[in-house]
Chains A and B, each alone.
Chain A
Amino acid sequence: MSDAIIVRNVTYRAGKEFAIRDLAMTVPTGSVYGFLGPNGSGKTTTLRLLLGMLPVDDGTINLLGHDVPAGVHKALAKIGYVPERLHLYPQLTVEETLRYHAAFYPDWDNARAEQLRRGFSLRAEQHVDRLSKGESGKLMMLIALAHNPDLLVLDEPTDGLDPVVRRDVLAALLEYVSSRGATVLISSHLIHEQERICDHVGVMDDGRLLAEMPMAAFRGGIKRLRVSRAPLDRGDLPFTLLSRGVSAGREEEWVVRGWQPAMKEYFVTAESELREVIDLDLEESFVELLRSARVPVVVAGEEI
């Protein structure tokens, strides 16, 4: 099996306004897949659809070789999930919470759970409702890791955590991933964090997956070009034009996706001049991608 998650043509409507539309995504086994998107773009809904918590209206989902929803419970036994918000009973202590979860997972590793608990400095007798936000985050990560999952689905796992706790949580995650070769699907709007740890990326906006590609391709494939005597009304672009704006005089700034150095030739044949190719960091690339999805570029009278 080469892909841990395969989603095809999934549609989900929640009320009249919001929908996940024709979602298709593939998370390769062993990858750390960053799921990027602004707040309200549908990331959490997508994760809940993947885990069978919400019923899809159309399309198919396969998780670790099991179809959702028919085989989702077999898949869930091999999945560690950290939801966006605390999902633990506040009346229980840390120890009781671990015991409760251990009862449901056949592969729960008590020794590992204890090791993580000590590593995260969580007191066994402490009540969940008295944990700080950081401690709650650590406990949720502990529960996700303690049953040796093949797939981790993490919904904003470090959101709101201070830098020290965030580092602890990510260190535990990366240590686990490197030792087990587990797959990770991590949703976040903390782009720089994703840039450090992810090797694949999917960008979502308004219920649609705008792009999905290896991180290296995403980081290196979106460029800002400064073009003099920019060609007008040409529809034969060898790259995807994400945005186009006047920079100074007759100079234009283009943001393009799928850029390759050999594409410089295009400007020669178009009798214009490519003055500079500027690398964008992940955050700039992400913003440009979203902007282009919301405001389509018009070339030769047509939206592209």
Chain B
Amino acid sequence: MFGEMLYTQWKWARTELFLYVLAAFLIPTIMIRIGFSYIDAYSIRSVLNMGAYAGIFFCALAIACAFGLAWRPYINDASLKHVGPLSLPISWPRFVQMRFLAGVVLLLVPTVAVWIGGVIATASAPIPPTLHTYPGGIAIRFFFAALIAYAAGFLLQYAGGKHAVRIAIFLFLTVVGVELAGQLLGYDSIVGSTWNALTSWPGPFSIFGARWMLIDV
């Protein structure tokens, strides 16, 4: 049962997964190759900055990948008014649970690509002997970041149903509104403080605020 669910989600997501995999392979390599041609490869600070850029890219890729995988199954079921899932002899919570787990398994595909892409990117660059590369660490971080973003996206989609997009827009507008009101009233950035709370330990999104360094000391 789970195997067929996984296969179905794989078939829906395989084109975009291919693009994520391609991005995970190529972009760090290209960034580092081009970057190293502009910086002093013996300047540790420059090399660290380069590694940080690659880390930011992986972080963004994790979020894109997660939301793509979270929304697609719901949209495909909703386009058929959920009649297919609801007429199957399993409960809706179990169906949703399997949808979630299948998405988690699919997150492993870009995670492996990130690891291999990181290895290739760092192997092709002249890394100073005092620095180290962390493609494995980045891949693990990528997986957990993607998992958290995926869980949040999945929760928003399945709890919000057809109103998920409206809820997301409402949340975004609320954030903008609160920030503007705070600025006008002379408060410190409320959104900034909230963002810091969420993205620093023990906030739920602290992994996004961690050091995403492909090359580090």
Q: Which residues of A contact B (CB under 8 A)?
A: 51-53, 73-74, 76-77, 81, 83, 85-89, 91-92, 96, 99-105
Compute how far the CA of A103 lies from the CA of B7 in the bound complex, rounded to whole angstroms: 12
Interface flag for B159 (CB, 8 Å): no
- Contact across chains for A88 and B84 when beta carbons are under 8 A apart: yes
- Contact across chains for A87 and B80 when beta carbons are under 8 A apart: yes
Taking CB atoms, residues of chain B closer than 8 Å to A100 are 4, 7-8
CB contact between B1 and one of A77, A81, A96, A104 (< 8 Å): that residue: A104
- Contact across chains for A73 and B11 when beta carbons are under 8 A apart: no
CB contact between A105 and one of B83, B84, B89 (< 8 Å): that residue: B89
Compute how far the CA of A104 lies from the CA of B84 in the bound complex, rounded to whole angstroms: 12
Compute how far the CA of A101 lies from the CA of B5 in the bound complex, rounded to whole angstroms: 10
Interface flag for B3 (CB, 8 Å): yes
- Contact across chains for A73 and B89 when beta carbons are under 8 A apart: yes
Compute how far the CA of A123 lies from the CA of B45 in the bound complex, rounded to whole angstroms: 62
B62-101 interface bits toward A, Cβ cutoff 8 Å, 1 = contact, 0 = none: 0000000000000010001101101111110000000000
Compute how far the CA of A86 lies from the CA of B3 in the bound complex, rounded to whole angstroms: 23
Taking CB atoms, residues of chain B closer than 8 Å to A53 are 83, 86-87
- Contact across chains for B76 and A89 when beta carbons are under 8 A apart: yes
Given A76-B87, A89-B80, 14 more pairs with CB closer than 8 A: A53-B87, A77-B89, A86-B80, A87-B83, A87-B87, A88-B80, A89-B76, A91-B76, A92-B8, A96-B8, A96-B11, A101-B88, A104-B88, A104-B90
Taking CB atoms, residues of chain A closer than 8 Å to B89 are 73-74, 76-77, 104-105
Taking CB atoms, residues of chain A closer than 8 Å to B5 are 103
B1-43 interface bits toward A, Cβ cutoff 8 Å, 1 = contact, 0 = none: 1011101100110000000000000000000000000000000
**Closest chain A residue to B87 by CB distance?**
A81
Taking CB atoms, residues of chain B closer than 8 Å to A91 are 11-12, 76
**Closest chain B residue to A86 by CB distance?**
B80
22 intermolecular pairs with C-beta atoms under 8 Å apart: A51-B86, A53-B83, A73-B89, A73-B90, A77-B89, A85-B83, A87-B83, A88-B84, A89-B8, A89-B12, A89-B76, A89-B80, A92-B11, A96-B8, A96-B11, A100-B8, A101-B88, A102-B4, A103-B1, A103-B3, A103-B5, A104-B88
**Closest chain A residue to B86 by CB distance?**
A53
Compute how far the CA of A100 lies from the CA of B3 in the bound complex, rounded to whole angstroms: 9
Chain B positions 140-173 with a Cβ under 8 Å from a chain A Cβ: none
Compute how far the CA of A88 lies from the CA of B84 in the bound complex, rounded to whole angstroms: 7
**Closest chain B residue to A153 by CB distance?**
B87
Taking CB atoms, residues of chain A closer than 8 Å to B86 are 51-53
Compute how far the CA of A52 lies from the CA of B85 in the bound complex, rounded to whole angstroms: 12
Chain B nearest Cβ from A72, distance in angstroms: 9
Taking CB atoms, residues of chain A closer than 8 Å to B4 are 99-100, 102-103
- Contact across chains for B87 and A89 when beta carbons are under 8 A apart: no
Q: Which of B4, B8, B12, B89 has the most CB of A within 10 A?
A: B89
Taking CB atoms, residues of chain B closer than 8 Å to A92 are 8, 11
Compute how far the CA of A87 lies from the CA of B191 in the bound complex, rounded to whole angstroms: 43
Taking CB atoms, residues of chain A closer than 8 Å to B3 are 103
Compute how far the CA of A77 lies from the CA of B86 in the bound complex, rounded to whole angstroms: 12
**Closest chain B residue to A74 by CB distance?**
B89
